[in-house]
Chains A and B, each alone.
Chain A
Amino acid sequence: MSTPGTKSRPRAAASSATLPQAFAGSQLATLLNATPDGIVLIDAQGIIQNFNPGAEKIFGYAAAEVIGRNISLLMPEPHRESHDGYLQRYSDTGEARMMRAPREVEAQRKGGKSFPAEVSVGEVLTDGAPYFIGIVRDMTERRAAEERLRKVEANLLAAQTLAHVGSFEGPWPGPGEFFWSEELLRIAGLPADDAPPSMEHFVQAYVHPEDRGAVRVSLERAAREGRSGQVEHRIIRPDGQRRHLQTIHQVVTDARSGERRIQGTSLDLTQRREAEEALRRERDRAQRYLDLVNVLIIAVDRDGRITLVNREGCELLGYPEDELVGKDFFAACQPPGTAGRARILFEEALKGRIDEFSLIEGPVLTRSGRTRRVRWRNQFLRDDSGAVTGVLSAGEDVTEQRETEAQLRQAEEELRLIFRRAPVGMATLSAAHGVDGHFLSTNQAMCSMLGYTETELLGKSMRDLTHPDDVGDVAEQLDSLFSGSESVKHETRYFRKDGRIAHALVHHSLVADSRGRPLIIISQILDRTDVVEAEMEARQQRARLAHVARLGTLGEMAAGIAHELNQPLAAIANYTRACQRLLSMGEIDPEELSDVMGRVTGQARRAGDVIHRLRNFVRRQTTERRPHRVNDLVEEILPLVELDARSHEVELVLELSEDLPRVQCDGIQLQQVLLNLTRNAVEAMNPVESSKRLTIVSRLHDAESVEVRVEDTGEGVPDDLVEQLFEPFFTTKPEGMGLGLSLSRSIVEAHGGTLRYDSRPGGGSVFSILLPTAPEEE
């Protein structure tokens, strides 16, 4: 202690310094006061002479309390007597068996509690009397720390065992003794009794040949660069097993000796690697399966982050797998418009508030910004405790399907519209009962054609509507349809609701099920009523026109007849004049005269025959007389009259009174008369330059007769000719035959009527026919 104030901790070593010197100086006192060690001075009898503040703190006594008392006070009971024994022996023998080296003893604090203490004792001679000085250090903390360390080491060992981590330590690069932890030996499969191998030996003997290079490189680099290194490698144990190790190592250099040592740990990764391998294989298998299935599979955690996605999913969404995994599904893969709703739905489903979560259809947003429609089958992922950890969804891209469906719907709708609105009648019929099959659907055209509402029609069968005479034919057609004809077409008659007959051209086709059994008949029904009626009308019209045409024939006949009549008349005139001349000249004898007269008679008879034939011709026209409406008769010949009028630039005016009583007549003959009069009228207006107008009037003349007038704006008939107007062969026309009016009057009179001529006020002619009305029917 020659250098007071030094900070070096006083070591419990014997001192030969004298006490007064030791205690006299204030420096020493300061030292005694400042040191944390307890310093106790006792005399040879064990009586405490001095007690510093460090001792006060360690033992809990104030100095005053212990000075003058025996040191045994500070010792637990078992040590007190042995201490007294030490002192006694010292007194007796002078042999100081003092604890020069610090030793651990049990000490006792105020209050009786014992604690571990380290004590060093020195002997001091003061004025010839021996004193003993003890330096006491409280070891409680240290013991506790040591205990903790022990526990830590034990724990470490356990941890190494549990974690399969072994540690090693030894000289680098060797040779020399190596330390291997128990766990490392166990991992390497080496007997615990054997001396652990050196690093080099270990690498050479146990590391897998393929990994040796890597291990050596790692070790060399770590040694060269003075940093820790890490290498994963395999070892082959003496028993042949293989283990995967992760070894972390570093080479340190002892600053004092310059010796280099390597220390490190090896973690047994075998199980993890195997588990990982198994997991990877499992995962690969699952992934392969997932990739193979034609659905996209996505798993998300509770936050909606993607934890798994298969190839299909990647392809659909347009991301590589590593970009998708970890992404927020809703933020990344939902169109902005629906993302919020989808997330709410997801969260509600996690809370179990949504029942229909297992099957959901919705859009996804692909990386390119397109939207695809996906039908999801969702399943909750749960941990061992059953808590929901996420959702696994298998999705089917139904975009095209939906589009197709939409198109189909559209097409269906269009078809439906076409069906409903088609101008041709359409219906579907149950094919089960042939002609008795009921209507399954009908369209508007069908309804309006038959005069039924759709509801009324749906209760009916084909037979109900078909004309009884046609049912057999329809049944036959349907049979042909059922026996393989693709479609059949036939004409038939239906009864309308109002009882009228509708003529239809029907086209049936058959729809069969997959086994060829007839399901429904699709019928297109073309309403031909108008056409058929028009045809019938046309046939009647043709018949009428054929009659009317005979009017023209009459004209031709008349010309022929006139010629024929002319011949005998001319011959007669010649004969008679010749006879007169010959008689006057006396150049004919009675015999010859008689002969010529005979020839004259023959010619007269011949003329009579001609007239007779003409009569016959007219009579042949007489078919039947029945009540006719004169307006109908007029209207029927209008096409001819109009043609005539148009070609002569004549205006045609009709003034036909409605509701006239019918007249009893042969319609054809009357039409011949009318046509004759209208032709005359048109021709009469030829010389007139303008205001050519042909007027046909029908009106009630009196209670018993109807008048039909044909008026023209021609030049009229000169007064002196009116008398002869109706005589045969009178004509004012250069090419006229002079028979028309005469015949016309004959015809009218044959009907009990009259045909009269009047001049028209303002110029022109009026021919009026008066016909008696037919006796009222019923």
Chain B
Amino acid sequence: MASTDATVFIVDDDEAVRDSLGLLLRSGGYRARCYGSAQEFLKAFDVRDQGCLVLDIRMPGMTGLDLQKHLEEIGCNIPIIFITGHGDIPMAVEAVRMGAIDFLQKPFSDEELMSRIADALDVAARQREGELERMDILDRVETLTAREKEVMGQVVQGKANKVIAADLGVSQRTVEIHRARVMEKMQANSLAHLVRMVMVAEAE
């Protein structure tokens, strides 16, 4: 079973569909929250909420695709599983291209749905871990002095201490001290580790 923190958000304009989906997901051990429209969902949703989104692609007003786009714009990358009706394949393909986990065509089997939900929540979890690591790294970076950040920048480019000393106009010894401090503060156990952390921090 998935982690209990995760919530499956269901957005479908058809009450019976979302109600039955909610029941089905409950039977799968998930916590489900149902919304009749994209606007309703956005009102209740907090970007810090964990979980995935089961989204009807075809809705009056703001469609599923509209919502997907909006979420991306506000920097929310909650995994989305689209539910499509007959003949909505092109839209579904577009949705996947835009980053959706997958789409399910109605009527679909419960196993299929469960498997996709699991995938989505995995993604969500991984995303959350990555995010946490990055926040951690960023916190460590914040502990560096300006000179240390400078030295780290040069170090991750693979420059020798001597070169860095020349560039910054300081002694090689000074560079060595800064470098040791950087490795210590960033809790890096190797240069490779430091490089990876800088890349994570600089992502986005």
Contacts and interface: CB of A to CB of B under 8 A. Distances in A.
B106 interface: yes
A570 B86 contact: no
Interface string A14-36: 00000000000000000000000
B14 A571 contact: yes
Nearest to A603: B16
A577 B109 CA distance: 8
Interface residues of A, number: 30
B86 A599 contact: no
Interface in B5-33: 14, 16-17, 19-21, 23-24, 26-28
B110 A570 contact: no
A574 B109 CA distance: 8
Contacts of A568: 16
A139 interface: no
Interface residues of B, number: 21
A159 to B, nearest CB: 145
Contact of A563 (B16, B23, B27, B85): B85
Contacts of A588: 27
A602 B26 CA distance: 21
Contacts of B20: 570-575, 578, 599, 603
Contact of A581 (B19, B106, B110): B110
B109 to A, nearest CB: 8
A737 B107 CA distance: 15
Interface in A565-590: 566-575, 577-582, 585, 587-588
A581 B85 contact: no
B69 interface: no
A730 to B, nearest CB: 13
| Secondary structure dominating the interface of A | helix
B111 to A, nearest CB: 9
Given A563-B86, A575-B20, A570 B107 contact: yes
A571 B89 contact: no
Contact of A577 (B14, B86, B106, B110): B110
B58 to A, nearest CB: 7
A35 B173 CA distance: 208
B87 A559 contact: yes
Contacts of B28: 581
A571 B24 CA distance: 10
A574 B23 contact: yes
Given A567-B106, A577-B24, A578-B27, A606 B16 contact: yes
Interface string A542-581: 0000000000000000010011001111111111011111
Interface in A740-770: none
B107 A569 contact: yes
B108 interface: yes
A562 to B, nearest CB: 5
Interface string B77-106: 000000001110100000000000000001
B106 to A, nearest CB: 4
Nearest to A729: B86
Nearest to A573: B107
B86 A574 contact: no
7 contacts: A563-B58, A563-B85, A566-B106, A567-B16, A573-B109, A575-B20, A578-B20
Given A569-B106, A571-B20, A737-B86, 18 more contacts: A562-B86, A563-B85, A567-B14, A568-B16, A569-B107, A570-B17, A571-B16, A573-B20, A573-B107, A573-B108, A574-B24, A575-B24, A577-B27, A579-B27, A580-B27, A582-B23, A587-B27, A734-B89
